[in-house]
Amino acid sequence: MSHPLLRHYIAGSFVASSRTFDNVSPVDGRVLGQVCEAGAEEVDAAVTAAVEAQSGPWGGWCAAQRADLLERIADAIERRFEDFVAAEVADTGRPVQQARSLDVARGVHNFRTFAGLIRQSGGEYYEMRAGDGSDVFSYTVRKPHGVVAIISPWNLPLLLLTWKVAPALACGNCVVVKPSEDTPSSATLLAEVMHEVGVPAGVFNLVHGFGPASAGEFLTRHPDVDAITFTGESRTGSTIMKAAAEGVREVSFELGGKNAAVVFADCDFDAAVAGVLRSSFTNAGQVCLCSERVYVERPIYDRFVAALKAGAERLKIGYPHEDGVAMGSLISRKHRDKVLGYFELARAEGATLVTGGGVPVFGDARDDGAFVQPTIWTGLGDDARCMREEVFGPVCHIAPFDSDEEVLRRVNDCAYGLAAALWTRDLARAHRISRRIRVGMVWVNTWFLRDLRTPFGGARLSGLGREGGRHSLDFYSETTTVCVNA
């Protein structure tokens, strides 16, 4: 994909702005191109375009028409599938096969899923008899909020962007999208797709930039934005929530996690090792659902630590297009510095390094990239900062436990509450413990497997609200009750 200058998309046209910033490859530090940065003027133009589009013909489109549009968007992404793969790989450094099988494939699936859901979505209907004997009929209708601000993260750029754009459009909203400054390419490609399939001008708008004193802040503070959805770190979510309080706008936040994996002695051992290896190191640990805290029942603890160490050391790190590459780079050198800072902190807090803990040396251009080794610690207490703060890198800490009650208390002793994974053959125990873990999602003998119709979201510092299936439709629309005295 060639985008020497990535521009905004406002009111149906690609628009440049005077300020730009570099789009840098995390694989080798090369500058891939320039990205326009939106100021208050560009953001205001995008929001104004969305407001105008909402009051135009788009406001009269029925659910079936919107569903047809989502299907055309999905078809267009499929036609440009390899372009999207290239964009995701260039910006993130992730293995090509992951971009193909997960990121882009899921982007297509998101549009198809919400096309189907909005076709099938009906309102409620009730009948009653009034005091004067007349029949009363009440029914509900969904209406769009109007303008939705969508702020998406860098770790799964297309997947998480389309997860929000698809239901927002399905419900009839207009959107202003701000992707992460680290991953602008696939969002720009999506704007091209929107243009190609004939999305009405102003319905989909894209502004590039940063957070504070840039596109993100200008967008969340804009008085004509009716709802805000954000995926990212918890501190940023708190800042956005303060901005959303002006005007009492709807918000949906999917924020950070310090997720636990619990491995019981009766588990399928090989499956548990493979599962925790995947949940700790997928996308170099840069998934909000990754397992950073691993608790293993004491009878299999030593064996498990050895097996996970061996598995981590077999992971091939390298160029995205290399055969057999299992782990790519981190998103940036800046983020690598943060992760390496936690590695140093873990040593200071008394961690035992099982494997990793540093930067791989390639002897080529990759040494200018943002790679780190998959890393495993043991020996930290539950109060250590590295056990309580999200690292968001390829790292996990393994600790032993002796009873169900003990591990449940330790898992719940956390400011976050996004997800957990249990590995056990005792399904009665799995059901019992799952009900008591304070998280939004629990996996049993699997990880990262989701039916898109189910609710998704976190508790405490991990977020606010639920999206997925009808829960997304509930967030991206308002319900009006119509009462008719017949």
Q: Which residues are catalytic?
A: 254, 288
Name the DSSP class of 467.
B
C-alpha pair distances (Å), 165 with each of 58, 73, 99, 231: 16, 11, 19, 13
Q: Which residues, 6+ apart, have CB-to-CB distance to 148 below 8 Å? A: 168, 173, 174, 175, 176, 225, 226, 227, 228, 229, 476
C-alpha pair distances (Å), 17 with each of 48, 184, 302, 436: 17, 15, 57, 51
Q: Which amino acid is located at 318 in the chain?
A: G
Show the tokens assigned to 244: 């959303």
The residues facing 376 across adjacent strands are 355, 396
Answer whether 35's CB lies under 8 Å from 188's CB: no
C-alpha pair distances (Å), 442 with each of 155, 431, 457, 458, 469: 21, 10, 11, 11, 18
Answer whether 349's CB lies under 8 Å from 386's CB: yes
Q: Which residues, 6+ apart, have CB-to-CB distance to 27 below 8 Å? A: 93, 319, 320, 328, 329, 365, 366, 369, 370
Give the distance, in angstroms, between the CA of residue 166 and the centroid of all CA atoms in the same chain: 14
> C-alpha angle with apex 450: 448 to 456, nearest 5 degrees?
95
d(CA 299, CA 141): 56
What is the secondary structure of 54-104 as a DSSP string? HTSGGGG--HHHHHHHHHHHHHHHHHTHHHHHHHHHHHH---HHHIIIIII
| Helices assigned H by DSSP within 246-397 | 269-281, 301-314, 333-348, 385-388
What is the secondary structure of 145-205 as a DSSP string? -SEEEEE--SSSHHHHHHHHHHHHHHTT-EEEEE--TT--HHHHHHHHHHHHHTPPTTTEE
Show the tokens assigned to 467: 């999206």
